[in-house]
Structure 1
Amino acid sequence: MTDSWRGYHLIGGNPTLDLVNTVSWRLDAARTFDRLAVPGFLSLWLARTGVVADPVTGETAVVDPVRELRETVYRLLTAPVPADVARFGESVAAARGLAIAEPALPLRWTVPINRIDDVVPALTLVADDFLRSHDAALVRQCAGSGCGWLFLDRTRNHSRQWCSSQDCGNRERARRHYRRAHPARG
């Protein structure tokens, strides 16, 4: 069995970005790996990101709708089109019908996850909160060749290039070093 967590880290800075990043090597068709296709990954992901307190069962029933939400959010963050905005708006409206808020200000609407069918509406509201926040303007896509992961660039001059300096950043620095050391082969 493939280790679905090998090479995957919660680096997005927000559960919405970490959901989008469940696809590794998104921009390299030969290496693309969708972790949601691995049995048990979604349940563990939900627990590790804090979306739920305990792992949920029966995740296979919601993998496809979660995948659809993930891809819609990815397009909204990278190349939004009116059809995706409308589709997401419909999902938000449906999720708000299930939402509750704690009696405290500011009001924060959430869908409690009591059963597997609550996962998609809950993630939809998490994504909606993020997409309406100021942080959405700080989203960048990794400049690593083929990576495609998204992250929050909170650097002072907004110059962060890679999802991880130790991963994609290190590969790029190694490529640059090789090209300098071996110009004829570059």
Structure 2
Amino acid sequence: MPTPVNLVESPKVGDHPALDVLNTVFLLDGVIVDSLQTDQDALQWLAAAGWRIEHDLARSKPGALLRSARSLREAIRKIIETRKAGKRADPAPLNAFLAQSQSHLKLSSAQKGTFHLERHWQQRTPEEILAPIAEAAAELLATGDFNLVRRCEDSECILWFYDRTRSHHRRWCSMATCGNRNKVAAFRHRHQSTT
């Protein structure tokens, strides 16, 4: 069971919002931590992921958004892990979230007479608030290159990422943490072997 945590942000190393939401559960000093502990945590995570949130939490039952966010996260986790294992995944839990999405496109004027499109989502229910994540996950599952969806190779890490490197040889969630730890360990192992 993940440990409750306050004031610790989840790593943003997934290079895809569907993988970043999985990474809201991570290891910290060997302990599994869940950075989503409150409705406000879920709203802050969505805002940090780039979605404009216009929902007033006072209109919802306390904990409803948190429960829905965790449920969606685990539905995404299960389908991604199943697909990565080469098995047929059941999309029904994710489809349940997608069915509750209410969105539309809005055409806006930009500079020099050009236009740009923005997608706007209804935000009356927790499931509608989470719709952008459900849609991002569905898009990844339908159109993403699953050879590039990977779990960090560090044995002490549980994070996922989408390998967008040019060579597609990314092995670690982050070179600054897991990559460095493994390079140091490999160096020590080579050094001990020669002495």
State the TM-score, normalized to the length of structure 1.
0.76
Q: Does 1:93 align with 2:103?
A: no
Alignment of 1:101-116 (within 5 A): 101-102=105-106, 111-113=121-123, 116=126
Structure 2 residue aligned with 1:143? 153
Cα drift, residue 64 of structure 1: 1.4
Out of 108, 123, 131, which is 2:133 matched to?
123
**CA-to-partner distance for each residue in 1:113-162, whole Å, 9 max, x for gaps?**
36655323343223223322335552111101231211111223321100
Quote the sequence identity (%): 27
Larger Rg: 2
Q: Which has the higher strand share?
A: 2
Between 1:37-46 and 1:150-159, the stretch displaced more is 37-46
Match of 1:162 in 2: 172
- Does the 8 Å CA contact 1:52/1:113 hold for their aligned counterparts? no
Match of 1:179 in 2: 189
Query: How far apart are 1:56 and its partner, in Å?
Result: 5.8
3-state SS of 1:100 partner: strand
Q: After the TM superposition, which residues 50-65 of structure 1 pair with which residues of structure 2 at under 5 Å, given as runs? A: 50-53=50-53, 57=57, 60-65=63-68
Q: CA deviation at 1:168?
A: 0.6
Task: Tell me the TM-score normalized by structure 2.
Answer: 0.73
In structure 2, the CA distance between the partners of 1:118 and 1:77, relative to structure 1 (3 Å rule), is same
State how many pairs are aligned: 178
**Equivalent position SS for 2:135:** helix
The 10-residue stretch of structure 1 (155-164 or 121-130) with the greater mean CA deviation from structure 2: 121-130
Give distance in 2, aligned partners of 1:118 and 1:52: 13
Q: Greater shift after overlay, 47-56 or 70-79?
A: 47-56
Structure 1: which 5+ residue stretches go unaligned?
none
Contact 1:43 1:56 in 2 (8 A): no
Contact in 2 for aligned 1:141/1:150 (Cα 8 Å): yes
| Cα distance in 2, alignment partners of residues 111 and 63 from structure 1 | 19
* Structure 1 residue 173, shift from structure 2 partner: 0.9
Bigger shift: residues 108-117 or 65-74: 108-117
| Aligned-partner Cα distance in 2 for 1:35–1:68 | 14
Q: 1:114 to 1:136 in 2, by over 3 A?
A: farther
Q: Tell me the C-alpha RMSD between the 2 structures.
A: 3.3
- The runs of 5 or more residues in structure 2 that have no matched partner are 109-116
Q: Secondary structure at the match of 1:132?
A: helix
The structural deviation recorded for 1:41 is: 2.4
Look up the SS of the partner of 1:145 in the other structure.
coil
Alignment deviations for residues 4-61 of structure 1 (CA, whole Å, 9 cap, x no partner): 22xx3322112211111101039x9x51111112674222211111122568636732
* Amino acid in the other structure paired with 1:78: E
Q: Following superposition of structure 1 onto structure 2, how do residues 11-50 of structure 1 map, counting pairs within 5 Å?
A: 11-25=13-27, 31-37=31-37, 40-50=40-50
